A and B are shown apart, each in its own frame.
Chain A
């Protein structure tokens, strides 16, 4: 930020640009802290870098205008969901690496998906499926269900993301809107324990029916045993030194 007078008129524009506007309170996605540097903790750490802590810098929510066709999609979605009686369906909008992510409250997911699929200006007729992501540090929204939608009519892609807390892992099922999510939701349930309300038969799909726990969650151990080779012992992958 220069004090040079010639730059002064641009200063306001710089402040207003999407990258520099601070995120609205409550919508910033600050989950997770990175500690240390070389993966050594405790007494083995002679570098002193083990005490380093750094917040994970997730992509921040963007402010309108988002650029290109993103604005039109967001505008049509807001108008379409208002017509269905949902006042503010969009939680936050993240534009990162040229991809548009719409964070939606889970109670609005069905309405949002219907509008995205049926609105003539949106026409996201194809769903590539849903997958779960577990953010243990994102308190109150630990489990995320991420949908990738494709509009073949307009050749556009959006990502719709909903979150649910660990204590109440319920998300409405989209099978009625996109039948293709049937197996994908079963997989997300199998791997993360996300319960998709309204799914016709939410059972495990990849793991055995009587399997305890949900393997892809971050609190579920990878497992493995040490391997001996030529006199040395290689620990299992999750117990090896990890760099962060």
Chain B
């Protein structure tokens, strides 16, 4: 997990047959897998005073996934910190160029696996702008998108707080966070059929109407969360250990944030109330009542408090969205344009497969044209006029946008995601150099990078 290299020393621990030779031109390499540090310190011998490079990751429980940190240290102080990324690169953007516009949603939902709905929405909003159907998307689809995105923000922030707590040893915070996240995932499963990888937000609307009983489940979730959220505040806000680990750590002021392109809770923790839901509303966010959460310390503690506050605000939005959905029963959730809108509302049948019997009756027994139309739309897809669009949204980690280029065909010509984790991770060096090695973990946890989104 951790290997240190210095100029002299002996090998520690059992020989790793997969690691190859540990002799390098730069000096001795130690492979550390959690044993007693005394034996390593002895192995260093005289060279202990010299520069040590610690290579943390890419598989380390406290680096938030497969992130590799290369830390140059003097004693406990980090003098230089660099990130190595790319371990989770799966070529999602390239793959999307070989699928239809609708199938693209299935790919991008897998990028940032903690905020699938935001990925989908960012892509879909750009496609809709290129299609010029932004005004035609039905109200119910927009409200459902807002509902899902805000539930998703809650679950994402819960994981951010939970893993951040775990990494400083606050394991109760982790169990609490994952306990509540499970409730959100249950709601996702009820509404979309899946806990993650939903592919639910589609160009033109959403894939399905709200299932019966969903509103009651959402309401009871809101009621439960109103009891559970104060537990985090009671547990952490004034906890002296928690505060001393987080306060003043990972400091980055407003100028630094703007220069490095930081957005989301990191930017808002400097006191600047920049939130795209307010400043450049999309999906009808201008119709909801909520406040932008800020803090003025520009450190890890401030980011924690911003996330905590944002969960309350998301809960407010979810409540309003649920109220509006109650009045939209039976309203369409897909654009009326038959050239774009998916032809049928699928349902889960007794065989577990998604088919709408009414629709099958229509295309197989009543209308040849409807059959042709269904076939063309599902196999070929629709064409998107040539051009490019970029519609950013406020993801849980900051500005998330898809730069979508079309050459007028049935497949994207190019899709590029501006993922906030990728951009924000650049601040690792600024936030952690000059600090202690234990604070590197806190600083990175406060950025909350998700490697699936960083590497795509």
**What is A's interface to B at a CB cutoff of 8 Å?**
32, 34, 39, 56-59, 96-99, 101, 125-129, 131-134, 146, 148, 152, 155, 157, 159, 178-184, 187, 204-208, 215-216, 222, 237-238, 242-244
Contact between chains at A183 and B426 (CB < 8 Å): yes
Shortest beta-carbon contacts, A-B, top 7: A180-B261, A131-B416, A243-B380, A206-B86, A206-B89, A237-B98, A59-B387
Tell me if B414 counts as interface (CB < 8 A to partner A): yes
Contact between chains at B93 and A207 (CB < 8 Å): no
Q: Could you pull out 17 A-B pairs where Cβ atoms are within 8 angstroms? A: A34-B408, A34-B409, A56-B408, A59-B387, A97-B387, A99-B129, A127-B261, A131-B418, A148-B392, A148-B403, A148-B418, A179-B260, A181-B261, A183-B425, A187-B422, A215-B91, A222-B97
Contacts of B260 in A (CB 8 A): 179-180
Contact between chains at A155 and B387 (CB < 8 Å): no
Tell me if B399 counts as interface (CB < 8 A to partner A): yes
Contacts of A134 in B (CB 8 A): 414
Contact between chains at B388 and A159 (CB < 8 Å): yes
Contact between chains at B94 and A126 (CB < 8 Å): no
| Distance (whole angstroms) from the CB of A162 to the closest CB of chain B | 14
Tell me if B195 counts as interface (CB < 8 A to partner A): no
* Measured CA separation A215–B89 after assembly (Å): 12
Contact between chains at A128 and B93 (CB < 8 Å): no
Number of interface residues of B (CB under 8 A): 50
Tell me if B279 counts as interface (CB < 8 A to partner A): yes
* Measured CA separation A127–B456 after assembly (Å): 20
Which B residues between 315 and 371 are near A, CB-CB below 8 angstroms?
none
* Measured CA separation A183–B85 after assembly (Å): 10
Contact between chains at A58 and B85 (CB < 8 Å): no
| Distance (whole angstroms) from the CB of A16 to the closest CB of chain B | 23
Contact between chains at A32 and B407 (CB < 8 Å): yes
Task: Answer whether A222 and B455 are a contact pair too, CB < 8 Å, given A125-B258, A206-B86.
Answer: no
Contact between chains at A206 and B99 (CB < 8 Å): no
| Distance (whole angstroms) from the CB of B382 to the closest CB of chain A | 10
Contacts of B262 in A (CB 8 A): 180
* Measured CA separation A244–B408 after assembly (Å): 9
Which B residues between 233 and 279 are near A, CB-CB below 8 angstroms?
258-262, 274, 279
Contact between chains at B280 and A155 (CB < 8 Å): yes
Contacts of A180 in B (CB 8 A): 259-262, 423, 426
Task: Answer whether A128 and B392 are a contact pair too, CB < 8 Å, given A155-B280, A206-B85.
Answer: yes
Tell me if B22 counts as interface (CB < 8 A to partner A): no
Complex interface bits, B381-401 against A, C-beta within 8 A gives 1, otherwise 0: 100011111101000000101
| Distance (whole angstroms) from the CB of B427 to the closest CB of chain A | 9
